[in-house]
Chain A
Amino acid sequence: MAEKIKNKSVLFNPLSKNNPVIVQILGICSALAVTAKLEPAIVMGLSVIAVVAFSNVIISLLRNTIPTNIRIIVQLVVVAGLVVIVNQLLLAFAYDVAMQLSVFIGLIITNCILMGRLEAFAMANSPWPSFLDGVGNGAGYAIILIIIAFFRELLGSGTLLGMQVVPQSFYDAGYVNNGLMILPPMALIIAGCIIWVHRSINKDIQD
């Protein structure tokens, strides 16, 4: 029973109380880069979930065999291998999105969330909790990406997932898309607003 509760917290803590982006402030740079539109943000979120979850499992399975002095190299190779596979899959099945995400899929390798979870969690825990931890952290990252992308695409382009949601009559009446929303700084400002709201609700994580 105690095991169950622990697994649950491993999976759900990173979604809010221990969110990698808004609490640990990791993985910010890709959050800025891919959130101008909702679709790439969702694909990027899913890719990171897949890569963190599977690299966590693989490292967790290998954790007792890895020589201590090359453990970082082993982690990097596993992550790099998985990222290349994800990139290949996207090129085969979602070519347009792969073109939009371009280098950022490759840069998942340098996402601090990954190495952080491998080093801090997968090296010390068995495969199943590691998998849940990976899914949880990946999802925590994905949620923030999607929230930011939602506001940026809605206010910046008047669309959601490429479909126009701001009615044409608004534009006729003089409404203009906010060009600033498309630029990277707005992602930081929205992330800041999310952190603000989040900390106001969760008073216990205020410094």
Chain B
Amino acid sequence: MNKQSNIYTVIYIIVMVVVVGAALAFTSMSLRERQTANANADKMKQILASVKIAADVDNVAELFNAHITEMLVVNSKGEVVKKGDANDMAIFNIDVAKEAKTAEAERQLPVYKCVLDDGQVKYILPVSGSGLWGAIWGYISLDDNGSTVYGAYFSHASETPGLGAEIAKDDFQDKFVGKQFFVNDTFLPIKIMKSGQLPNDESDYVDGISGGTITSKGVESMIDNCLRPYEAYLRNLK
């Protein structure tokens, strides 16, 4: 057989693609369950990180069930649309990145209600947006007055190490603690400012990252875009 002929080459490619495709599909299908479990555990870990509960792979599900007493879905009018416990996967799996792109009135807005060891109630809200190079996301926990930040957690897909990637460090996240979302009864999302500058309204603000301006601005617009629809719900908490 002529191995250099066009027909041989084309058949060779087709067979190769089918075989490789089948192998990849098989691997993906057989590992899917474990991967989802890992991804869920990772998400739980991040949610807990926003209320300063450190978890690892082994105890994360246990801690999550112990602390997250309720998961809610609210709408932009502040009404509770759906209620579930910590095992309600339908609420847990809401894709915040996708919701953040739809119109505010149509969004499903998840709220994770968390009870700490000392009985304090915190409300954890997910945020999602984009930084300089790729996706950024996080969780912000508020006190039961619906305004004061208790803790914040941010992560990113591919921001520059040492610059934009600093949003994932405690140094940056800790600056949010104690900031307010309601100033004089007006809802004003927290701003990220270059150090030395002040916001042009009464908003509470934190200092951005030097050299990470676009990522810092990304965090600001992410908080603005994702938390604005919660205004009515947070107002009811006050």
Contact = CB atoms under 8 A, between A and B. Distances in A.
Contact of B12 (A67, A78, A99): A67
B26 to A, nearest CB: 10
Contacts of B85: none
A70 B35 contact: no
B59 interface: no
B16 A74 contact: yes
A175 interface: no
Given A70-B13, A103-B158, A88 B38 contact: no
Interface centre among A65, A73, A95 (most CB of B within 10 A): A95
Contact of B23 (A85, A95, A99): A85
Contacts of A85: 23-24, 27
B9 A81 contact: no
Interface in B1-50: 3-4, 8-9, 12-13, 16-17, 20, 23-24, 27-28, 31, 34-35, 38-39, 41-42
Range class of the B interface residue count: 20 to 34
Interface in A55-97: 65-70, 73-74, 77-78, 81, 84-85, 88-89, 91-93, 95-96
Interface in B90-107: none
A102 interface: yes
Contacts of B158: 102-103
Contacts, number: 56
Given A68-B4, A69-B9, A70-B9, A95 B38 contact: yes
A67 B17 CA distance: 15
B157 to A, nearest CB: 8
B27 A77 contact: no
B199 interface: no
Nearest to B28: A88
Nearest to A89: B31
Contacts of B20: 77-78, 81
- Consensus secondary structure, chain B interface: helix
Interface residues of A, number: 24
A78 B34 CA distance: 25
A26 interface: no
B211 interface: no
A67 B16 CA distance: 12
A92 B42 CA distance: 12
Contacts of B8: 67
A194 interface: no
B162 interface: yes
A195 interface: no
17 contacts: A67-B3, A67-B4, A68-B3, A69-B4, A70-B9, A73-B13, A74-B16, A77-B17, A77-B20, A78-B20, A85-B24, A88-B27, A91-B35, A92-B38, A95-B38, A95-B42, A103-B158
Interface of A: 65-70, 73-74, 77-78, 81, 84-85, 88-89, 91-93, 95-96, 99, 102-103, 183
Given A67-B4, A67-B9, 7 more contacts: A70-B9, A74-B12, A77-B16, A78-B20, A81-B23, A102-B157, A103-B158
